[in-house]
Structure 1
């Protein structure tokens, strides 16, 4: 099941990360050829997108550490720096997304806790609930959208 909004635990993890500290720790990891201090930021708690970029950075770090020839080290360092940049960008992108979601949630919220079907048949129906208000001082109004789709099959 995919999520519409960033889950609360991931929001907390993302909010705790300082971009300049992250960049400093990425640079330190590249210089020392180990990711040690980078793990204290708990980047893997920031969602699958960030976790994937962290894994790519750690793989690139391991390949760079194993490289011996000067030409190979130059190649792996370039890849490593790109992976570090991608990791830093992923955190920034997720933090911007979180800020946008929080701003929009003042007026409109989609409930992404959608229950999976209890039984399967040729017809699948899903109900998505939401709430909205015109201004932050207004009372919430509630609604839902129900959708039915005929499944393909023999």
Structure 2
């Protein structure tokens, strides 16, 4: 029987409780879930790839079927083929995500029509969370404790203070 391997790709700058929820749910569906820290050329990052990988690894260290890889400067489909992942897991929070993700899925399908995309709808309590919003809230001294894990909140606060 073929092992069902899913790739969940994103910039994760930082990983949010919404991302965490999607990975947990995917880990119940697939034999293996690979979380890939990818490059999004339209974003300015707060954390390095190494910092994001460490942050994500801490979140999932107790799950045997979840791993983290660096997908810096790679196409998601190429990384999926390299890792033998046959499904891309994507999440949707709202209709804006639906429109964006539909385009991403079509482009990925053009790159390789053997890789499927599975969408998981966000839990409603996470539907308005984005990494960009979290960075803005923390920058101006707001409370993000319900939006990210305690370790991530600490890293965010240290980053704002200039502590690496």
TM-score (norm 2): 0.26
TM-score (norm 1): 0.27
The structure whose Rg is larger is 1
- Structure (1/2) with the larger helix percentage: 1
Higher relative contact order (CA 8 A, sep 6+): 2
